[in-house]
Chain A
């Protein structure tokens, strides 16, 4: 079976998983949450197989490179990393609600990568600038960071949602009791941000080392570099406020949203600005 077919299947499976998480949130029965998790795990397994098949196929075509080299491949890996990180968080916290806000992002990434007309899913040969061992570690660390920030973003959204309902005591909504406790969400926002921050730092470092070997300069103020630094600074501000000033709750949640907007701009928006990372253009 071709890997593209499996990947379309994965898109569908993530959608089903998202709908089941939504059922779980509305209906509150544990069954839906468990079913949703099952689909997310199944999707992750299928996607892992598809990525390996694509990798193998690139060798069959005589091109031989990891499936992390163009926009399509990065989008698929982004979805993979989001689900992977999320499922680990789910295992650790045993909470099946956060999926409602995280899984759909993976679904959207998968759907966009296959539907968008200007995204080519062909396995393309590697131009000389990309022929480096640093490519794999740079892309993997960056996207693991992005995925952790996505989880923080999901938690932030739930936090704000729940916080909104807290003020509204007259009409206790059905959702209110089922959302995880604010304190848990607050901890999760902090922990996933910290994890993402470490990954992003390593991602920037490895990118820097690669640039040193490829372009002759570890830092060139290319817009993507600058925006990754902006993202890094936003999360650095957030972590400092937490550590030094004890920032908690709603403000942390809002900063998680702001940070995620920066992540998205670093990943997608920057491609519309001229710069050295242009081979990521669709």
Chain B
């Protein structure tokens, strides 16, 4: 076994190394959470160019993705693998250890409570012991030792491997994370209602990723609770491949959609800059009308030589609600004025408003009176797109870890031997057990078994 004497091998197989690594990782994490990024940036700015380059190369400004952290994780993984390999043979021997004959000396110096002496027929007692062991531990084996009988039962032999399952799970998670970081992809797209997009901006790099399908946002909806807290962000999406809608679905926060190995998440929303206003006007004694306007649009007013244009359009100006600013040019006049949607309410609050600020009068261009019926806003939905082929491995690792920990902490490999010997007319029953941990629990089990056998014999 020259391999085991190798200094490098023994370095990597020590638990001391594990502990030291874990402590260093803890300090790296503490540093990473406490040092805000702008301080790191300021610090890099002060470094001499050579050092700054090295700093960048090792990516120390982002500790979680730094060379240092990758190095620590690599050493930890090697440490974990080598520790596991090193300890496996002795564990396997323990697993395969024969149950007969019992480990030497195990029946020596037994406390009185674990010895039962009775005078009944031995074949009857044999049956009782067998049935008690079977009831408690499912199955039992027996051998004829010549001097009497030896029975054996056990539970949770597989729990010997609990620690292995936990350590394996960590490696599985690391592999899953590596696969995700190499083959995975994260990107963002913004789609205006009614439009479709087939390119995404990669989150980590300043680059564009082309999808071989396109995504259309059919509708974006926000709902609010009564107190104004947002309740729902919802995008109705269509996925279009080869010119055909291949899938339609509703995307919500906490309810992603999957298409073609990509997962889509509702992550942001916004309003497109182009608002539209549905404006109606009345003209005393003549026909009124309705117009759909955007900023910069111009329109003719019938029955007059006037031409109007939209200068500004606001969704909520000075907390007074939607408003648009119009300019009307006629042969005699060139005027500008605001049209508020809630002009009646505003007038109520300040009854002299229209005389004081004529510009707020929607009827300033006599005899026309304008009003806003409604504003139409186009939303865009912000989607986060992820492709991560490592997720299933990470999930498997997580499951293994929880299962392993439950085995490690709540299960023990327990073995029980019951010896039946005849001494003259008396039968001597000795009960003993071994466990790989938690002796109190084992003692309780032995006591319980003793009581049970005694009760059965009496009955």
Report A's interface with B, CB cutoff 8 A.
63, 124-125, 127-129, 131-132, 194-195, 197-198, 201-202, 205, 208-209, 212-219, 221, 223, 226-227, 229-230, 233-234, 236-237, 240-241, 243-245, 270, 273-274
Contact = CB atoms under 8 A, between A and B. Distances in A.
A178 B382 CA distance: 64
B64 A234 contact: no
A63 B231 CA distance: 10
A128 B232 contact: yes
B299 interface: no
Contacts of A218: 391, 394
B230 interface: yes
A237 B24 CA distance: 12
Contacts of B227: 125
Interface of B: 15, 18-19, 22-23, 25-26, 29-30, 32-34, 36, 64, 163, 177, 186, 225, 227, 229-233, 252-256, 263, 265-267, 384-386, 388, 391, 394-395, 398, 401-402, 405-406, 409-410
A128 B401 contact: no
Contacts of A237: 19, 22-23, 26
Contacts of B388: 217
A205 to B, nearest CB: 5
Given A125-B225, A205-B401, A208-B398, A230 B26 contact: yes
B256 A213 contact: yes
Contacts of B18: 240
24 contacts: A63-B225, A125-B225, A125-B229, A128-B231, A128-B266, A195-B409, A198-B402, A201-B405, A212-B391, A213-B254, A213-B256, A215-B265, A215-B384, A216-B256, A216-B384, A216-B385, A217-B186, A218-B391, A218-B394, A221-B64, A233-B29, A240-B15, A241-B19, A243-B163
A97 to B, nearest CB: 20
A223 B388 CA distance: 22
Contacts of B402: 198, 201-202, 205
B386 A245 contact: no
Contacts of A227: 29, 33
Nearest to B65: A221
Nearest to B176: A218
Nearest to A194: B409
Nearest to B33: A223
B29 A201 contact: no
Of A195, A217, A233, A234, the most chain B CB neighbours within 10 A belong to A217
Contacts of A131: 253-254
